[in-house]
Structure 1
Amino acid sequence: MRFERSHTRKAVAVAVAGSLVLLASACGGDDGDSGGGGGSTGGALEGRGPITFATGKDTSGNLVNQVQAWNSQHPDEKVEIKELPESADAQRQQMVQNAQAKSDAFSVLNLDVVWTAEFAANRWITELPEDQFPDLGKLLPSTVDTGKYRDKLFAVPVTSDGGLLYYRNDWLQKAGVTAPPKTWDEMTAACTKVLALPEAKGASCYAGQFEKYEGLTVNFSEAVNSAGGVVVGEDGKPNVDTPEALAGLQTLVDAFKNKQIPAAAITYKEEEGRRAFQEGKLVFHRNWPYVYALANKTDGSSKVAGKFQVAPLPGKTGPGVSTLGGHNYGISEFAKNKATAADFIKFMASEERQKANVQKTSQAPTWASLYEDPALNKQYPYLAPLKASIETAKSRPKVIKYGDVTTAIQDAAYSALSSKQTPPKQALADLQTKLSSLITQ
């Protein structure tokens, strides 16, 4: 999931660690009114006619084709795309404002997977009768879990996401590095060899997403999880002021200090990093599956087409842990024509439409069968490591006050990585205090 679309930004296996569902009465702040139970009652979805689809900016260029496929079959129930900004935070803000105004301007919402609990608890999206979505059992189980709040379905997963390590295979081979790194130390050693090559002059070792937005929450969480730490434990309590979390954050801080991560990367979201990798400025790059198709274009837009491969993220002592990404489609509580909205979601979540989308965009599907599809695997060899990434991914905190929680995480991580240079241990101690006040039992 890319988190510039909330994609940008971009989710998934059997269990989602760190999940937390709070009592609705605990919600407050500027995220709107909350009520007990969340959402509507899951009754009949009524009304047919034109609807709107609120979604982040589509940098893949394929969303319009997917929607047109629906419109051509449903001339009296056409869908109008309401394209929101690239930034996930700006997307969420507009959706929240629309909901707080009880506006019917948005019918179907393209939600970052981690927003589902917040929107459901605040009664901003409608509970969905599971019997109207019979294909849920054919999706990756953990993607379905992201669409639920208090064991009730509020959104349907249409794309998933797991972080991947893109790397310049041509450079690694020439430098005598025979396999992609499984640990951070191995990545550092590989970079030392590669950056000595004349053709890698001016390149940097690594970059991810470090601008102060949702992508930083993801990259920080991955660093912490990949060092054996957690942000929020399985008991639902914050536990980020630990030696393991410190090791993860310190790795990023040190990489900025020694220029392994270029200084410019403090402004990188998904697209800035993708462009840097495609322009030959990076040896390794952490990003989502959507990058694969764009970086392999042979129209002159990418200097690395045919020169890179994909591997799991590295960690402290072995393969790292991705943060679960992806997008769920939910129906605004204030929408008209909810029956049409539900059918549109089923259409977009179908195996046929998901396969068509993978073929065009390389975005991660939620249908389990598509990861075994021979034609897709031939087109996209990354599908096997992607499925592994999704199946071992960890969720961000599943909380009602998610907007406040992710802001606190971003503030702490950015203060340690940026020119503020807050000592990592202090940043984590401050974050622990802040999260403890936001996440209450």
Structure 2
Amino acid sequence: MSRFNRNLWMAGGLAAFALAGGVQAKTITISCGAVGAEKQLCEEGTQAWAEETGHEVQVVSTPNSATERLSLYQQLLAAQSEDVDVFQIDVVWPGMLAQHLVDLSQYTNGAEDSHFESLVANNTVDGRLVAMPWFTDAGVLYYRKDLLEKYGQAVPETWQQLTDSARVVMAGEREAGNDRFWGYVWQGRAYEGLTCNALEWIASHNGGTVVNTEGEVTINNPQAREALALASTWIDDISPRSVLNYTEEEARGVFQSGNALYMRNWPYAWSLAQSDDSPVKGKVGVVALPRGGDEGAHAGTLGGWQLAVSRYSANTEEAADLVRFLTSYEEQKRRAIQGSYNPTIPDLYQDQEVLAAVPFFGELFETFKNGVPRPSSVTGESYGRVSNAFFNATHQVLSGEAEPEQALTGLERQLQRLGRRGW
């Protein structure tokens, strides 16, 4: 038994002992997302902890849109509300929310040492561990193996190859009678998901990450303009115009129904595409996202979610214990096998049961380990405004309202003004 598991077992035993002695059971409230199987897996995990400790857990659903969820969290925390004890927070939020969150290092007994160092560092603000890694993410490319074989197309290495092969297969499938078939679906709504997609296009063209690690605005460059120009050609060609309002689930709905050749999404979509009632079960492959060209690089935006305890919780100790349980090896393993959620514990990428359930976890380990970070660390509390400006400028290009050079020049000026006031 590992040190963490032993400590967790002891904590559960002590809690049960205390409850047997007449201590009143507490009710812990946790916010969980509902993308894919997220809410179900969260409910199962929290129920297991509740049965072990004698406490109760109430799971609260939050908006699927990360942008809307952040706004809700900021309202609750600004009001110092006790309504939510444990928050599921995006990888780019620790710097923005740190002042409202408990330092978990006093409750973890060193459990964070078994997680990816980069994520622990990301979640540590001014020496305080304000969140524990729960699952990590990087954007990946889903494709129909059967259709690429049918039309003699190779798995694309570059975005141009994706564009060309999508046109070939889309034309063939439509000629065969499926006039709802599209070449490529992705997240194009003006929200954080578009920031992730656009960052991947630009980084894969060697165009940087909007703001560099020194805080310099780098977005207005030829490679970034080239990346956005290519993406804008997809609309009404290989991607439906409605993609400009897609989030993760809309894209998955089209792909999983059998009406798209390619899809950009997060790893969670794998288990759903492979479910018994999925029309594409057994027909799907997953690879790293394409390079920007022969000189480009594969780039998947670093995603993932953490668990944090509110400073305004009336049940801090119990909430922290729930976080320890949900981020443990055993619980992350269960979630990886059942829902293809990427563990934040490196050892799980060598676990044979995990690899049997999600084979590409091993093949794309480096993609997940070295995901392209959004510029949240350097911009701190200003990140929300940076991302908002970036995805709105990108959306203007994609919708035909602005040319790449015009949009990026305006974005550069906007971000430089923000930076002068101090990130």
TM-score by structure 2 length?
Answer: 0.87
Instruction: Single out whichever of 270-279 and 129-138 deviates more from structure 2.
Output: 129-138
Percent sequence identity is 32
| Contact map agreement 1:408 1:431 (CA 8 A) in 2 | yes
Cross-structure match for 1:242? 221
Letter in 1 for 2:212: G
Cross-structure match for 2:280? 304
Cross-structure match for 1:12? none
Equivalent residues in 2 for 1:242-281, closer than 5 Å: 242-256=221-235, 259-281=237-259
Give 1:185's match in structure 2, choosing from 124, 140, 160. 160
Letter in 1 for 2:49: W
Q: Distance in 1 between matches of 2:29 and 2:217?
A: 38
| Contact map agreement 1:157 1:328 (CA 8 A) in 2 | yes
* CA-to-aligned-CA distance 1:15-49 (integer Å, 9 cap, x gap): xxxxxxxxxxxxxxxxxxxxxxxxxxxxxxxx983
Q: CA deviation at 1:142?
A: 2.0
CA change 1:386–1:63 in 2 (3 A) is farther
Give 1:426's match in structure 2, choosing from 388, 406, 416. 406
Letter in 1 for 2:404: P
User: What residue ranges of structure 2 are gaps of 5+ in the alignment?
Assistant: 1-23
Q: Distance in 2 between matches of 1:294 and 1:285?
A: 14
Cross-structure match for 1:59? 36
**Secondary structure of the residue that 1:283 maps to in structure 2?**
strand
Q: CA deviation at 1:247?
A: 1.5
Q: CA deviation at 1:319?
A: 4.5
Q: CA deviation at 1:289?
A: 0.5
Letter in 2 for 1:185: Q
Q: CA deviation at 1:314?
A: 0.3
* CA-to-aligned-CA distance 1:326-368 (integer Å, 9 cap, x gap): 0011111111111111111110010000001111111111011
CA change 1:197–1:254 in 2 (3 A) is closer
CA change 1:200–1:136 in 2 (3 A) is farther
Give 2:183's match in structure 1, choosing from 190, 205, 221. 205
Equivalent residues in 2 for 1:18-417, closer than 5 Å: 49-57=26-34, 59-60=36-37, 61-75=40-54, 77-120=55-98, 123-129=99-105, 132-177=108-153, 179-198=154-173, 201-202=178-179, 203-230=181-208, 231-256=210-235, 259-299=237-277, 302-317=278-293, 318-398=296-376, 399-417=380-398
Instruction: Single out whichever of 382-391 and 224-233 deviates more from structure 2.
Output: 382-391
* CA-to-aligned-CA distance 1:79-123 (integer Å, 9 cap, x gap): 211211222122111111111111111111100110111001xx1
Higher RCO, 1 or 2 (CA under 8 Å, sep at least 6)?
A: 1
CA change 1:386–1:144 in 2 (3 A) is farther
Letter in 1 for 2:405: K
Q: Distance in 1 between matches of 2:148 and 2:127?
A: 47
User: What residue ranges of structure 1 are gaps of 5+ in the alignment?
Assistant: 1-46
Q: CA deviation at 1:201?
A: 4.1
* CA-to-aligned-CA distance 1:294-316 (integer Å, 9 cap, x gap): 011112xx211111100000021
**Secondary structure of the residue that 1:219 maps to in structure 2?**
helix
CA change 1:423–1:156 in 2 (3 A) is same
CA change 1:172–1:325 in 2 (3 A) is same
| Contact map agreement 2:302 2:373 (CA 8 A) in 1 | yes
CA change 1:74–1:131 in 2 (3 A) is closer
Name the one with the larger helix percent. Answer: 2
CA change 1:378–1:56 in 2 (3 A) is closer
Q: Distance in 2 between matches of 1:385 and 1:246?
A: 31
| Contact map agreement 1:133 1:346 (CA 8 A) in 2 | no
Supply the RMSD in Å over aligned alpha carbons: 1.9
**Secondary structure of the residue that 2:235 maps to in structure 1?**
helix
Max Rg structure: 2
CA change 1:131–1:332 in 2 (3 A) is closer
Instruction: Single out whichever of 111-120 and 50-59 deviates more from structure 2.
Output: 50-59
Letter in 2 for 1:93: S
Q: CA deviation at 1:51?
A: 1.7
Instruction: Single out whichever of 179-188 and 237-246 deviates more from structure 2.
Output: 179-188
Cross-structure match for 2:16? none
Q: Distance in 1 between matches of 2:35 and 2:59?
A: 10
Aligned residue pairs: how many?
387
Q: CA deviation at 1:200?
A: 8.0
CA change 1:69–1:126 in 2 (3 A) is same
| Contact map agreement 1:126 1:333 (CA 8 A) in 2 | yes
Q: Distance in 1 between matches of 2:109 and 2:279?
A: 43
